[in-house]
Structure 1
Amino acid sequence: MQNKGLITLFAILFGLVSIYQLSFTYVANKVESSAKEFANSKFSENEPRERDNAENRYLDSVANNSVMFGIDYQTAKEKELNKGLDLKGGINVILEVSVKDILKGLANNSKDPAFNQALENASELQKTSQDTYLESFFNAFEALPGENELASPDIFFNKNLEEDIEVGMTNAQVRPIIQRKIDESITSAFEVLRKRIDKFGVTQPNIQRLGQSARILVELPGAKDVERVKKLLQSTAQLEFWDTYKFEDFAQFLQAADAKAGEMASASSSNETEEAVAVTDTTETATDSTATEDDDVSALLGGEDMNDTLVDNNNANPILSKMVYPGGQGSPILATFRLKDTAAINGYLRTPQIRSLLPNGLRYAKFVWGLPESNAQLNEEVTALYALKGNRENVPQLGGGVVVDASQEYDQLSRVAVSMQMNGQGAKKWEEMTGNAYQTRGNIAIVLDDVVYSAPGVTSGPIAGGRSQITGDFTVSEGQDLANVLRAGKLPASAEIIQAEVVGPTLGQEAINSGVLSFGIALVLVLLWMIGYYGKAGIFADVALLVNILFIFGILAGLGAVLTLPGIAGIVLTIGMSVDANVLIFERIREELAKGKAQKDAIKDGFNNALSSILDANITTGLTGLILLVFGTGPIQGFATTLLIGIATSLFTAIFVTRLFIDSYTKNGKSLTCSTSLTKNLFSNVNIEFLKKRKMAYVFSGIMIIISLGSLFTIGLNQGVDFVGGRTYTVRFDRDVNSNEIQNELISTFGSAEAKTYGGDNQLKITTKYKVEETGTEVDTEIERMLFETVKKYYPADMTYERFVGDDEGKTIGRMEYYKVSPTIADDIKQASFWAVLGSLIVVFLYILLRFRRWQFSLGAVAAVFHDVLIVLGVFSLTYRFMPFSMEIDQAFIAAILTVIGYSLNDTVIVFDRIREYFGEHPTWKMNRMINAALSSTLSRTLNTSLTTLVVLLCMFFLGAESIRGLLFAIIVGILVGTYSSLFIATPIMYDTVKRKTAEDFVKRKEEDPALEA
């Protein structure tokens, strides 16, 4: 081997760099362990919030202290090996910015019938189309009858777009302008979200726009307060300042509205009016009531003894009977209601018959709810109803766009508050509004996303300078979040979470523990096997393997890549591939020694002859890994990343590092047999007539494929939420539970649901498609509450909803993990998976065709791959109903299928390489003799590689995390079937599709076809 010194230097430097990169992870983990110990010594397990705060304070205090080699914790945290959600816990969401809202804004909320009809039609088209919403809108607009023009003054020719669109422009000319404006708005949304996340305080956040779509991926590893994150991401930050009416302005209206509602209720024989109105308004009301924070409004509730006649607990009075207490004289609060009654009250207040009772001076009044607050007497939450001074255009007196800065501080009563600074235009208008409020003794409501945060009166004259303040019963973090949202600016449109994954930190730590254990055991078994089979050469291979693992983790840390559970599985698979390369080399050295060559020549020729097979096998696997990287998302990309890195490092360590050790050992004439006394002559005289057994193999495989296809067409597959949409919860109990019993109760609650034992008998994976078409935090909360109420009786009596959904570190029971996929994105995942599998088949077919220059080789390889994939699918279809682990078809399963494709091709290509070699070495042999001999000569390598790979996968399968058990099972089945198909399917098909001639006839044209040369 040339340039040994250079390669040695490179390997040493690469190793040192890898150790340096990993030292940051060591320092970060060491400091965080100390912080945990400190927090645990101060607070008990029943005080999780206090422990978290103590831990954070400790980390802040030592952030800049040097730990080792001048590395401090803050630097180490920035450069440590990133762990994914499944290892660290946290939240991963995909938000979709509403293009429909942006279009409405660009059209200045046009009332044009064609425009609004096109919007509705586009929403319907989106349920079955893969087009973007904008493309669906354009198609829907064009499909409407008549000559409809986008550049109409009633649509896009307005003040918003007067510099871009002119009257007379064709629809084709307007389209790219609207496309550009939409893209600018989504980019603006991305920047707003990025600014919010940057201030959130989570280390290593990841935010990226997915292509040119309206979707934005946000990953926050380690984030514990999930509801806070959701609120931060979805808040549009629509800040408005409104003048308010007073209680006395609406006292008579409330009485009249109550009487009218009573008439409407009595007019209905089934008394269903209230419920119907409430249901109609549930979605909108939930936004008002549940997406808010607590606030203490008791200071504004004056005159509780006034107009006591308003409070009528008679159920014949649908509105007044629900009132907790009315507002007081001069108060901006009309009345206070229970939070659970807000949907019904909203329904009444929006009913045309009741709205018509408003006097002319009040007919544009806008009813809005305040922040919920706990009522100790009622033991539930209540909220106040306000009436804002609306107008025909329904626009506020002052909008939030004038706010240029915001910060969390404290008011005169030492309460957390948010201070805002306005620009010059806003300051002038604010002074005018506060001056009017001072003169009329009125109030100004500060409204954020249609929720009144506070409605203070003005007692000291007009406020100049443009400063204002929002007060309330905020925590410090809530105040910081609100200031952050206001400072970052509002989203240009609403953003819905269409895919979400929440993993509790406890589940993440358990995954790390199980992953490290299974990985360690698998590694020890492989190291021992290599020594037991290859002797001293096996020791060199083991050292190279350990160096390979060091390189992989070093590169992952240096690149800032994210390590996930599937990524660990990818590293484990890399161990098998690294061993495969060494097995190929050692087997070739043994063959060369058996021919009587000198040891030095045998080693040289062994490495050279194995190189072609090693490269072909790794390139085919690398191609499937590359496709996974392109089409996959999240953990699947982590799997592909580690696989690709592992392929590169395995090639280097197997070809160069192992060679360095072997050359160094044998340079003084020391013997290296690449075997032990037990394995010296193993497989040396094997000569199996594989081709004679091909008809039997065809029949066996045909039966297996027919059974698989029959099962796929009749039983089908257990499609996970990735492909059909829905919500999945991992729920842990404090005792063993009966999954069938709980499933029946969940079905009665949701209509359709599945509950399967997941890991231990005290843990279930619960999946439901209830309200799968609906998105929004309020729907998620509703379903989680329904889930909790259904399973509550299986928990201790003191179990609360807050504890059930909480994500505290060290949590032992409750909802441990949550995953949601909307049907829209499920269709996209399904389509991407299809193209990933099809693309990998096409790519490897073309590679093999170019590499071997014979279509028969490609046909045999691809036929074997189809054979393997169909059988794996068939096994999953036949067994998913009774296997004790999840066998859902999801993105991880697609990764497994592509891995099976890569492994099957790896095996097949090595066999084909040996056949091609025999063409040149034995030109007078009959083809069947030559192929049988080639297959027999690779048998030792095939069994060795399959066995070592299976050992590591079985360790991961039995000892690793539950979440990747299905992925590992698919790969295990695929390896068994792939090993069989490379010997009994791929090669026989290649043999049966060429003319039965001698090898000499087959290679007559080798001069113009160099690929056929040995």
Structure 2
Amino acid sequence: MLYFSRWQTFSIWLVVILGILYAAPNVIPQSYLASLPSWAPSRPMTLGLDLQGGSHILLQVERNSLVSERLASVRDDVRSVLREKRIGYTGLSTAGQSVQVRIRGTGEVEAARKALEELTQPITSSLFGGGVIRELELSEPEPGLFRLTLTDEGMNYRISSAVEQSIEVVSRRVNELGTTEPVIQRQGNDRILVQVPGLQDPDRLKDILGQTARLTFQMVDQSMPVEEAIQGRPPVGTSVMYSTDNPPIPYIIEDRVIVSGENLVDAQAGFDQLTNQPIVTFRFDTRGATRFGQATQQNVGRLFAIVLDGKVISAPQIREPILGGTGQISGNFTVQSANDLAVLLRAGALPATLTVVEERTVGPGLGQDSIDAGIAASIIGSVLVIIFMIMAYGFLGIIADLALVLNVVMIIAILSVLGATLTLPGIAGIVLTIGMAVDSNVLIYERIREERRLGRSVLKSFDAGFERALATIVDSNLTTLIAALVLFVVGTGPVKGFAVTLAIGICTTLFTAFTFTRWVVAFWLRRSRPTEVPKGYIHLVPEVTRIPFMKMRLQVFALSILLSIASIVLVFTVKPNFGIDFTGGTLIEVRAKNGQTDIGEIRQKLSEAGIHEVQVQGFGEASDALIRLGAAEDEATGNATVQKAQQILSADYDIRRTEVVGPTVSNELMWSAIVGILVAMAGIMIYVWVRFEWQFAIGAIMSTINDICLTLGFLVVTQIQVDLTTVAAMLTIVGYSLNDTVVIYDRIRENLRRFKKMPLGQLLDLSDNEMLARTVMTSVTTLLALVALYFFGGEVIRSFVASMIFGVVIGTLSSIFISAPALIFFNLRPAKGPLISEEEIRAGEARDLKAEGKQVSAT
């Protein structure tokens, strides 16, 4: 294990050098990076929205709106088809997802059926004609009555097409704003994710994305006073629409569209030469120019309306024919609103209405604070772990610290190469990796010490330590990796960032702790030829312990069951403090522009504005406050409430962060969290079952369920807010606890092979005691990193870290007191029998040493 060929040495150091080179752009000034040749690594990590500020908006295509539009279109198609065939009809109407019509003459029913069947033609088919999608189904409930019904598969296809078209339109709109590196991608069947980093005005982005921007030019009907139309009934073929003025002005608008926004080829903001007021100039294509010219020629002296999304922007009088295909839109524009309208018109109209179902916005100030807090926590956590490892292992601790530093460098390098986004929970993942990375070194070093105590030479102790620790390291890290993969699959936003860094950290840990550390140790052994294993300066656990864990197993089980039942009762009675991720609603973080935050004043201002379901609390510093608004009945109402609250508070407070989660998304997040935890547990259980035996898998799950129940009880008692990051903490606790459990199970499996006649209770005690030093050392290093993150990582992730700290402590105890003793209940081996003395144990270990020596000499 300690021999390395030249190509192996070259490969190891090549990976190390590449890691340093690709991580370097994150600390080198950008001006210097620009001067490097194109082939040199120059790409730093991408910072997430929570670190540089920006907006995360999840848009959803409104199915009901699309259904209504399709029904109106089908109704018009039915009318056109029957009129073209000169077939008399009556009762043309819509109901639910259907359009129905009754044919007057019995002799025309067959002709009507053939004519209407043309509307049911497939709207798409597969490449090889193996399947078709029909949008409409024709039925005849009674003679002469035809019904055209929208099919679910047809509407799903329409929605999918609308999402694809909307992505193009949204991309054009966002790019017109001049933002850098926006992320616009499809999410699920009917949603679009928009992430715009560094955006200073998120409300403007939301306004631009939320507008359908369907522009039409229609004539104004002046045949009757508009007041009569409002009170009575407008003329046939017209509708009453209101202008964007304040107060709005009503107009009677003809339903017939002269020209639509589809015929626009350009739109630019400008200024009127006479009034110097902001305007929007537009230019039609050839077809649009022709139709617009004909309409203005035929209607000189009449008013025509420029309508945007059902509202009249302007209604000028046609003084003379407009034949050039150009015109201008004037109204109560500001410079920015004129620019925004021009952006919307250039980008084109959305094919369907989009609503904001989730919004997470972080101001640039909060982003910089998060970066500073994350760096501080990382440095302090690293320093604490480094000092502890040196105190515990002496020179070997220095080697472990070198591997730890390289581990962090490689994580940063991989994130940079992949173009992955580093978020604040991602920093938490790195800090957690710092604590967990030394676990592999602790496993190796404790095994080396153990082999030395058994009488092996220094060189053979190191060789056996690395060899026997390998399987344990792989098993323990793979269980955590399973939890990280589940987090990535079911998580969203910040949770994915945490999962990515955690998974990368696990992979780099396997390289730095086993490969790099082993090479450095082998190099040191060849050069120094030590006569003894280096010792540390502190010992948290004596080298040899004889704690009778199995004797207290019944008491521990009883206490564990009692606390777990109490936790479950608390969950259903007191209930956790669910955040908006699971309940829906809005979270707004503000900072007073001057002095301290007045919580009472905030509550009073919002209450006077008609916003009653408000919770206001201090958050972080005295100038900060966290405002929580209850979930609205629908997304549109919720968005309006948020905008009103922000406008009221913006005079005295800086809006640092806004998170809006609609009721639909919150339900989905709740279920995905539950499914994520269950899938992670199932995946890890299967892995343990395959690697060990079924008794071990059940014991591991018992321990994990205990950890989850007690952590839930902790969350209820402390009333820490439960959100998506808490789910990440729960899944990480599952992985960490099973990491500990698998390490102990590896030793139990080894002792089962070594001491075939030892009673199970004595063997489990022996295994627990042999691994006690490693378990305690690993927990301490992880807790050191987490405590640094708790006190210096910022208020935003404090609840997440608190859950992790509690979970690490509980996970460590359950691995010792529940996982191993549980094996007695499943008859892994007869628990009773004559105890084996210490001398017999040592004799058995000596026989193993002798047998290994013969194998080595024979080889």
TM-score (norm 2): 0.85
* 2:258 and 2:292 in contact (8 A); partners too: no
TM-superposed deviation, 1:961: 1.4
Which of 344, 367, 370 matches 2:241? 367
Pair 1:553–1:907, CA change in 2 (3 A): same
- Alignment deviations for residues 28-83 of structure 1 (CA, whole Å, 9 cap, x no partner): x656xxxxxxxxxxxxxxxxxxxxxxxxxxxxxxxxx974425799x96xx43111
* Uncovered stretches (5+) of structure 2, i.e. residues with no partner: 79-90, 100-111, 125-133, 141-147, 835-851, 853-859
Pair 1:574–1:110, CA change in 2 (3 A): same
- Alignment deviations for residues 657-686 of structure 1 (CA, whole Å, 9 cap, x no partner): 111111111112432855435347952121
TM-superposed deviation, 1:224: 1.1
Pair 1:575–1:155, CA change in 2 (3 A): farther
Superposed, which structure 2 residues align to 1:641-790 within 5 Å? Answer: 641-671=500-530, 675-676=534-535, 678-679=537-538, 683-733=542-592, 734-737=594-597, 739=599, 749-769=610-630, 772-776=632-636, 779-786=638-645, 789=648
Pair 1:16–1:461, CA change in 2 (3 A): farther
* 2:302 and 2:317 in contact (8 A); partners too: yes
Pair 1:664–1:222, CA change in 2 (3 A): same
Cross-structure match for 1:431: 293
* CA distance in structure 2 between the partners assigned to 1:525 and 1:486 by the alignment: 57
Within the alignment, does 1:522 sit opposite 2:522 as a pair? no
Within the alignment, does 1:912 sit opposite 2:732 as a pair? no
Cross-structure match for 2:166: 189
Letter of the aligned partner of 2:743 in structure 1?
I
Query: Comparing both structures, which one devotes a greater share of its residues to strand?
Result: 2
Pair 1:588–1:492, CA change in 2 (3 A): same
Cross-structure match for 2:86: none
- Alignment deviations for residues 287-310 of structure 1 (CA, whole Å, 9 cap, x no partner): xxxxxxxxxxxxxxxxxxxxxxxx
Pair 1:153–1:979, CA change in 2 (3 A): farther
Cross-structure match for 2:96: 118
* 1:531 and 1:538 in contact (8 A); partners too: yes
* CA distance in structure 2 between the partners assigned to 1:153 and 1:411 by the alignment: 56
Pair 1:102–1:156, CA change in 2 (3 A): farther
Within the alignment, does 1:576 sit opposite 2:435 as a pair? yes
Say which SS state the counterpart of residue 441 (structure 1) adopts. Answer: coil
Which of 60, 84, 100 matches 2:64? 100
Say which SS state the counterpart of residue 766 (structure 1) adopts. Answer: strand
TM-superposed deviation, 1:199: 3.0
Say which SS state the counterpart of residue 462 (structure 1) adopts. Answer: coil
Cross-structure match for 1:626: 485
* CA distance in structure 1 between the partners assigned to 2:156 and 2:616 by the alignment: 44
* 1:666 and 1:672 in contact (8 A); partners too: no
TM-superposed deviation, 1:116: 5.5
Letter of the aligned partner of 1:237 in structure 2?
A
Cross-structure match for 1:401: 262
TM-superposed deviation, 1:864: 0.5
* 1:540 and 1:661 in contact (8 A); partners too: yes
Pair 1:66–1:897, CA change in 2 (3 A): closer
Within the alignment, does 1:834 sit opposite 2:674 as a pair? yes
* 1:106 and 1:156 in contact (8 A); partners too: no
- Alignment deviations for residues 797-823 of structure 1 (CA, whole Å, 9 cap, x no partner): xxxx5545xxxxxxxx33221111111
* 2:4 and 2:519 in contact (8 A); partners too: no
Which of 195, 215, 235 matches 2:211? 235
- Alignment deviations for residues 120-177 of structure 1 (CA, whole Å, 9 cap, x no partner): xxxxxxxxxxxxxxxxx99xxxxxxxxxxxx999999749978966775799995434
TM-superposed deviation, 1:975: 0.4
Which of 795, 800, 807 matches 1:962? 795
- Alignment deviations for residues 320-350 of structure 1 (CA, whole Å, 9 cap, x no partner): xxxxxxxxxxxxxxxxxxxxxxxxxxxxx74
Cross-structure match for 1:387: 251
Which of 733, 738, 760 matches 1:927? 760
* 1:564 and 1:635 in contact (8 A); partners too: yes
The answer to which of 855-864 and 678-687 deviates more is 678-687
Pair 1:942–1:365, CA change in 2 (3 A): closer
Cross-structure match for 2:175: 198
Cross-structure match for 2:717: 878
Pair 1:620–1:673, CA change in 2 (3 A): farther
Cross-structure match for 1:980: 813
* 2:136 and 2:151 in contact (8 A); partners too: no
- Alignment deviations for residues 80-116 of structure 1 (CA, whole Å, 9 cap, x no partner): 3111121111111111111222222333356799996
Letter of the aligned partner of 2:625 in structure 1?
L
* CA distance in structure 2 between the partners assigned to 1:684 and 1:823 by the alignment: 56
TM-superposed deviation, 1:916: 0.5
TM-superposed deviation, 1:473: 6.6
Cross-structure match for 1:889: 722
* Uncovered stretches (5+) of structure 1, i.e. residues with no partner: 32-64, 120-136, 139-150, 258-348, 373-381, 790-800, 805-812, 881-886, 1002-1013
* 1:240 and 1:398 in contact (8 A); partners too: yes
- Alignment deviations for residues 741-770 of structure 1 (CA, whole Å, 9 cap, x no partner): 865886785443322221123322221215
Say which SS state the counterpart of residue 659 (structure 2) adopts. Answer: strand
Cross-structure match for 1:14: 15
* CA distance in structure 1 between the partners assigned to 2:253 and 2:334 by the alignment: 30
- Alignment deviations for residues 417-461 of structure 1 (CA, whole Å, 9 cap, x no partner): 544332332121011123235xx2344433222333444455564
Say which SS state the counterpart of residue 938 (structure 1) adopts. Answer: helix
* 2:779 and 2:812 in contact (8 A); partners too: yes
Say which SS state the counterpart of residue 667 (structure 1) adopts. Answer: helix
Which of 860, 865, 873 matches 2:704? 865
Cross-structure match for 1:81: 45
Cross-structure match for 2:305: 445
Letter of the aligned partner of 2:394 in structure 1?
G
Pair 1:486–1:744, CA change in 2 (3 A): closer
TM-score (norm 1): 0.72
* 1:419 and 1:469 in contact (8 A); partners too: yes
* CA distance in structure 2 between the partners assigned to 1:876 and 1:108 by the alignment: 52
Cross-structure match for 1:883: none
* CA distance in structure 2 between the partners assigned to 1:953 and 1:216 by the alignment: 35
* 1:115 and 1:155 in contact (8 A); partners too: no
Pair 1:739–1:475, CA change in 2 (3 A): closer
State the percentage of identical aligned residues.
31
* CA distance in structure 1 between the partners assigned to 2:605 and 2:533 by the alignment: 62
Letter of the aligned partner of 2:310 in structure 1?
D
Cross-structure match for 1:971: 804
TM-superposed deviation, 1:738: 6.3
What is the aligned-residue RMSD (CA, Å)?
3.5
Which of 653, 669, 684 matches 1:844? 684
Pair 1:613–1:234, CA change in 2 (3 A): same
Cross-structure match for 1:355: 232
Pair 1:937–1:639, CA change in 2 (3 A): same
